[in-house]
Amino acid sequence: MDIKLVAGSPSAIDTECLVVIALDHGEKHQNAPKLSFPKSPINDETMEKALAELLASGEITGKALETVLLHRPAGLKAKRLLVVGGGKAKTFTSSEVRRAAGTAVRFLRSKMIKSCAFTLPELPAGADEAARATVEGALVADFDPDTYRTDRKDLSFKDISIVSPGGADQGKLQAAISQARIVGEAQNFARELVNEPGNRLTPTVLGNRAQEMCKGVGLNCELMGPDRIKELKMGAFWSVSQGSDEEPRLIVMRYEPQGAPVTPVLGMVGKGITFDTGGISIKPADGMEKMKYDMAGGAAMIGAMRAIALLKPNVRVIGIVCASENMPSGKAQKPGDVQIAMSGKSIEIINTDAEGRLVLADGLHYARTLGCTHLIDAATLTGACVVALGMVNAGAFANDDDIYKHFAQALDRSGEKFWRMPLDAEYLEQIRSNIADIVNSGGRWGGAITAAMFLKEFVEDTPWIHLDIAGVAWMEETKGWIAKGPSGIAVRSLVEFVRSYEKQ
């Protein structure tokens, strides 16, 4: 997709479609909404007249994500005018901008229109924030999961234009657009990985894809197989891998800019289970085909590292993905087995389907041995988190308030939805073992929390955040702004989390 910044009056922009967001300033007790559109950058009376006529028609209410398309709007050089509802003005943020931009792209694609120009809505953070959100939303919308359909139609957008508001800093706007492109493309890269079926994206292939990406953007990448994993005494990681004929891969990506401070060193660890049957504790057949997405946390790390390499923050970052299949076989681990993690802790296996925390345990400890001073992990870890938060928010856990402040700042920028969950010491009692140090499953109650408590045993006092993205890593249905399938959740937040340390 070609993305460019254009200056001039909206009415004078020659485009297949001009996109405008309408906001509702009305109150609930009023019968009719009070709508507004972006202020014209150069006293564009023609544009204002066209919009006023549309308002008078009553066809647009400002309801979030509603769409009204006009053909050959009077006085406009654009062939079409698309108005997208932005919802209530008082709750309008960059998150709504992303969704509105995404809705516009997917609506126009359905009409075989592959080019448009966006006018920027007004945000308190300024025009550059509006441009950033618009570009990210448009890129995420321009993705479909039908990779292997023989009758697949290329609906991808050719180009979008961002109409510069009058008086805006052109340099800041262009920088925002360029950065948004990097982040949006990184999110889509992660989605491409998650979308691949398990027979086409084995741990070996995932490692190769990560290595190829690193080579393209100038990152160092090291791939390690069974011999090295065993040599490192990663007994928890290896226990998950041992039931599969496919070799595991430990993927280590390094971003070490010259002149960056010695600390912090941020460690980003992702669960990379390329297919999860549940092992001996096998899952039900219904829905198992989606278990190809169990590497979404690892994909988020790979996508985030791609964006970090191109954005070049002055912070040291190490990305680690523990990639494996979880399969039942005569070699697979069994409930009741005891495994020794890299840290030396002993783990009693209660449920072989609680495998994600096993690979992360060794990945997090390994990150500490590499000198990481701050840790963040992402994983499709528990169904319990989906029960707790549904498919709207992902779960966030932190053992340190300061590191969570950085993550909260990142969420303000990324617009992704995470909800902080507790890590009270009492939950540790649920994962104590009679035969070993801890068990890998604390039972039904508080399952997302006990899984996080398990991981906490391997980070010890290192500041750490755990992201349980199980409920939001896969869109169960197509939304107006995004296709059904992988969402790429956490990529934007991880990138902004890293950048927050550059500014401290």
- Do the Cβ atoms of 331 and 243 come closer than 8 Å? yes
| Cβ-contact 41, 165 below 8 angstroms | yes
Shortest CA distance to 473 belongs to which of 407, 401, 394? 394
What is the enclosing helix (H) or strand (E) of 67? strand 67-71
Cβ burial of 92 (10 Å; 0-12, 13-18, 19+) is buried
Q: What angle do CA 478, 180, 300 make, to 5 degrees?
A: 60
Which of 98, 345, 357, 368 is flagged as catalytic? 357
Q: What are the C-alpha distances in Å from 73 to residues 78, 79, 151, 283, 500?
A: 8, 7, 35, 56, 44
Dist. CA 74–CA 79, nearest whole Å: 10
Catalytic site includes residue 283: yes
Q: How many other C-beta atoms can be found within 10 angstroms of the C-beta atom of residue 163? A: 24
Helix or strand run (H / E) with residue 224: strand 220-224
| First and final C-alpha spacing in the chain | 34
Identify the sign of the CA torsion 137, 307, 418, 296. Answer: positive
The values of phi and psi at residue 323, to 5°, are -105, 130
| Closest C-alpha to 269, from 487, 462, 500 | 462
Is 357 annotated as catalytic? yes
Sorted by sequence, the CB contacts under 8 Å of residue 473 that are 6+ apart come out as 194, 293, 296, 297, 380, 486, 487, 489
Q: Could you identify the residue written with the tokens 């800041």?
A: 172
Catalytic residue among 88, 109, 283, 417: 283
How far is Cα 379 from Cα 167, in angstroms, rounded to an integer? Answer: 44
CB burial class (10 A; 0-12, 13-18, 19+) of residue 191?
A: buried
445's CB contacts (< 8 A; 6+ apart) are 430
Taking CA atoms, 261 is separated from 155, 211, 367, in Å, by 45, 26, 18
H-state helical runs in 370-400: 383-389
CB atoms within 10 A of CB 32: 9
Residue keyed to tokens 């707790």: 388
Q: Which residues are catalytic?
A: 283, 357
